Structure 1
Amino acid sequence: MSLRSAVLMAGFVLTALNLRPAIAGVSPLLDEIMDDVGLSPAGGGAITTVMVVCLGVFGAVAPLLARRIGLDRTLLAGLLVIACGVALRGLDGAPVLYLGSALAATAIAVMNVSMPGVVKQHFPSRINVMTGVYVSAVVAGAAAASAAVVPLERLTGFGWRGVTALLAVPALLAALLWLPQALSRRSGPQGGPRPFGVVLRSRVTWYVTALMGLQSLTFYVVLAWLPTILMERGLPADQAGYLLSLTNLVQVAASLAIPVLAGRRASQVPYVVGAGVLTVLGYLGVLLAPTTVPWLWMVVLGIGQGASFALALLIIALRPADPAAVTALSAVAQSVGYVIAALGPLLFGYLRELSGGWTVPLVVILGVLVAQLVAGWLAGRPATLGAAGR
């Protein structure tokens, strides 16, 4: 491997690792943040809500930036804005806390949408492998941030503000590694016709969007509510936290391996359906026997959800013919998808409040998973985005 290729690979992986810590690093410090800033529980929860909403709303900016400055320079700008955002929210006062969070999430939204196009542009013959690398790095970044912020706070003595500022360091390092790509003559604006018209008229777009949104919804429900469900069924808090960590770690392995296999075939239907079925089985375990071999349900759930996320992004990269169309498809699928996902934990909690238990909301999620299976079967079929009737 040449030095240029090594720098490209290192920059790509480190960029992907920066796409979740700004979000995942909030929850472990939330009680301390609320006490220090003077926020109510609703105000503390609004930090994450603001970020998830930004993921859905601002992803559509990515194709516009790519046309003007190119995908590589869009990623570089995103990394610098993440660094500014996480540093800003460590300053004094609730307004800058929310502003910094929104700024970081806006950059992440743009980068989320851009990354499948970057895969298509830089690794056209290895889309399956590099999609797996990308998604596993995203998941690993989230897991590392949620696990490391509290020990890092204790080790450094900086408090939550200092630890928040430290999250800017890996973003700046990734920007430094990505700088050669951004300065390359081949990294200019994306020319050609505007792809949004073709993308919006294609059935493939809406199949992929449904898959992205529904699998994200079921993932965020797990992230928000799984420990609470397990604790109310009798498990201690520390064990509930370990089980959530276990399912997240399993997702890293699943998201790395599955795209490599699925990308070798014209149809991804068997893999998407299989991932959906595993997710159903994991949720059934949580519904029917949450304290009986709970680690097994977490492994099954982790494989299903990790594979589903990776396959949705793989399909986004495979279906269009060029990086500009990939970016446009990614913008539609991820923007709409994250808006759908943001509603999941809220509605799940509302159903819990109305029904007085977890059975009704979990049964509703199983219905959502049936819809995800249908969307996955439709999105996974061989197709070229924009072809007649598609």
Structure 2
Amino acid sequence: MSFRSALLVAGIVLAGLNLRPAIAGVSPLLDEIMTDVGLSPAGAGGISTVMVICLGVFGPLAPLLARRIGLDRTLLAGLLLLALGVVLRVLDGAPVLYVGSAVAATAIAVMNVIMPAIVKQHFPHRLNLLTGVYSSAIVGGAAGASALVIPLENATGHDWRGVSALMAVPALAAALLWLPQVFGRQVLPPQGPRPIRAVLRSRVTWQVTAWMGLQSATFYIMLTWLPKIFLDAGLPAGQAGYLLGLTTLVQVAATLGVPVVAGRRASQVPYVMAAGVLTGLGYLGVLVAPTTVPWLWMIVLGIGQGASFALALLIIALRPADPAAVTALSAVAQSLGYVIAALGPLLFGYLGQVSGGWSVPLAAGLGVVGAQLVTGWFAGRPATLGKANL
């Protein structure tokens, strides 16, 4: 591998590492944030809901920016905006908390959409491998954030605001690493008919979108509420945070290996089904026995959710014929999918509040996993979203 290619891979990996800490790092600190800011459980769930809504609403900005300034410059802008949002949300008051979260999530939305296209543009012949590498970086960032925020609080003596502000540092580091790509020649999509309008006419788009939304909903529910569930079950805060870190760490292995294997086959249905079943078993374990071998439930859940996430990114990259169409499909699937997913943490928290426990919301979560399996069967079937059927 040449130095230029190695620098590209390093930039993609570091950018991927920044796509989840701003979201995953909130969950272990949720009790502290609720006390400090004065939020109800539903209001605390609203932090993740605001962020996931922004992931959906602002994703369509990505194709517009990519057409005007190119994919590489769009990624740089996203990293800088992410750093700004992370710093903004730790200022005093609930409104600023929500606004800063929205700014950070808007940046993540844009980067989420363009990352599959960046991989297809720079590494078209290593798509499976690089999809696994950067999706592993994404969940690795989530694992690190969820596992380390409490130890960082203890080690530095900072409260949740100081620790959260530190998440701007890796975003700025990634921006510096990506600068060489920005000063190079920018590859702009063709300025013909907008691909995003074309992909809306394909049934493949809607199949992928429905599955993307449901698998994201099951992921963000657990990302937001898992530590709280374990805390209420009697586990200490540190252990609850480590358990969330464990499930996201297990996702790293799943996301690294699954795309390499699944991408070699025309159909991804067997992998999609297996991932959904494992996710459901993880939910069931937390529902039935949250303090009995919780590490086992987290491993099972991590394999299922990590595989689902990696398969979603792989399918988005595989179905279209070129990077412009990848960006368009990614914008539709991730934007509308995250709008669906945004309801998950909010409704989960509301059900927990009105029922006085976590059994009812976890049972509802199992129902969402069932719907994920149904839509995943359609999304995983062989199809090509190319120029002929756009």
Please say whether Structure 1 and Structure 2 have the same fold, judged by a TM-score greater than 0.5: yes
Task: Kindly state the Cα deviation for residue 47 of structure 1 after the two structures are TM-superposed.
Answer: 3.3
Task: Kindly state the Cα deviation for residue 138 of structure 1 after the two structures are TM-superposed.
Answer: 0.8
Paired residues of 1:69 and 1:189 also in contact (CA < 8 A): no
> Structure 1 residues 96 and 352, CA, compared in 2 at 3 Å: closer, same or farther?
closer
Matched, 1:79 2:57: no
Aligned counterpart, 2:199: 199
Task: Kindly state the Cα deviation for residue 325 of structure 1 after the two structures are TM-superposed.
Answer: 0.7
SS of the equivalent of 2:124 reads: coil
Aligned counterpart, 1:53: 53
Paired residues of 1:243 and 1:294 also in contact (CA < 8 A): yes
SS of the equivalent of 1:173 reads: helix
Aligned counterpart, 1:373: 373
SS of the equivalent of 2:59 reads: helix
**Pairwise mapping of residues 294-309 of structure 1 onto structure 2 (< 5 A)?**
294-309=294-309
Paired residues of 2:90 and 2:164 also in contact (CA < 8 A): yes
Matched, 1:3 2:14: no
**Pairwise mapping of residues 1-390 of structure 1 onto structure 2 (< 5 A)?**
1-33=1-33, 38-41=37-40, 44-157=44-157, 159-188=159-188, 190-232=190-232, 235=235, 238-353=238-353, 358-385=358-385
Query: Which blocks of at least 5 consecutive residues in structure 1 are unaligned?
Result: none
SS of the equivalent of 1:201 reads: coil
Q: Matches of 1:33 and 1:234 in 2, distance apart? A: 20
Q: Matches of 1:150 and 1:374 in 2, distance apart? A: 38
154-163 vs 272-281, which deviates more? 154-163
Deviations 1:330-382 (A, max 9, x none): 11111111111111122233444555554443333333222211211111111
Q: Matches of 1:43 and 1:218 in 2, distance apart? A: 19
Task: Kindly state the Cα deviation for residue 133 of structure 1 after the two structures are TM-superposed.
Answer: 1.0
Query: Which blocks of at least 5 consecutive residues in structure 2 are unaligned?
Result: none
Paired residues of 1:202 and 1:386 also in contact (CA < 8 A): no
Q: Matches of 1:46 and 1:310 in 2, distance apart? A: 26
Q: Matches of 1:253 and 1:74 in 2, distance apart? A: 29
Task: Kindly state the Cα deviation for residue 85 of structure 1 after the two structures are TM-superposed.
Answer: 1.8
SS of the equivalent of 1:317 reads: helix
**Equivalent position amino acid for 2:39 in 1:** S
Paired residues of 2:204 and 2:385 also in contact (CA < 8 A): yes
> Structure 1 residues 293 and 285, CA, compared in 2 at 3 Å: closer, same or farther?
same
SS of the equivalent of 2:382 reads: coil
> Structure 1 residues 155 and 367, CA, compared in 2 at 3 Å: closer, same or farther?
closer
Task: Kindly state the Cα deviation for residue 18 of structure 1 after the two structures are TM-superposed.
Answer: 0.8
Aligned residues: 389
Paired residues of 2:28 and 2:240 also in contact (CA < 8 A): no
> Structure 1 residues 389 and 85, CA, compared in 2 at 3 Å: closer, same or farther?
closer
Task: Kindly state the Cα deviation for residue 264 of structure 1 after the two structures are TM-superposed.
Answer: 1.1
Task: Kindly state the Cα deviation for residue 135 of structure 1 after the two structures are TM-superposed.
Answer: 1.1
Q: Matches of 1:116 and 1:229 in 2, distance apart? A: 34
> Structure 1 residues 187 and 181, CA, compared in 2 at 3 Å: closer, same or farther?
farther
Deviations 1:98-132 (A, max 9, x none): 33222111111111111111111111111111111
Q: Matches of 2:332 and 2:85 in 1, distance apart? A: 25
Paired residues of 1:88 and 1:97 also in contact (CA < 8 A): yes
114-123 vs 244-253, which deviates more? 244-253
238-247 vs 153-162, which deviates more? 153-162
Q: Matches of 1:262 and 1:172 in 2, distance apart? A: 34
**What TM-score do the two structures reach when normalised by structure 2?**
0.90
Q: Matches of 2:59 and 2:33 in 1, distance apart? A: 28
Q: Matches of 2:253 and 2:291 in 1, distance apart? A: 24
**Equivalent position amino acid for 1:193 in 2:** P
For the aligned residue pairs, the C-alpha RMSD in angstroms reads: 2.5
Paired residues of 1:73 and 1:187 also in contact (CA < 8 A): no
**Equivalent position amino acid for 1:55 in 2:** L
> Structure 1 residues 346 and 165, CA, compared in 2 at 3 Å: closer, same or farther?
closer
Paired residues of 1:210 and 1:337 also in contact (CA < 8 A): yes
Percent of paired sites with the same residue: 76
286-295 vs 336-345, which deviates more? 286-295
SS of the equivalent of 1:80 reads: helix
Paired residues of 1:69 and 1:190 also in contact (CA < 8 A): no
> Structure 1 residues 189 and 70, CA, compared in 2 at 3 Å: closer, same or farther?
farther
Q: Matches of 1:186 and 1:389 in 2, distance apart? A: 28
Task: Kindly state the Cα deviation for residue 94 of structure 1 after the two structures are TM-superposed.
Answer: 4.5
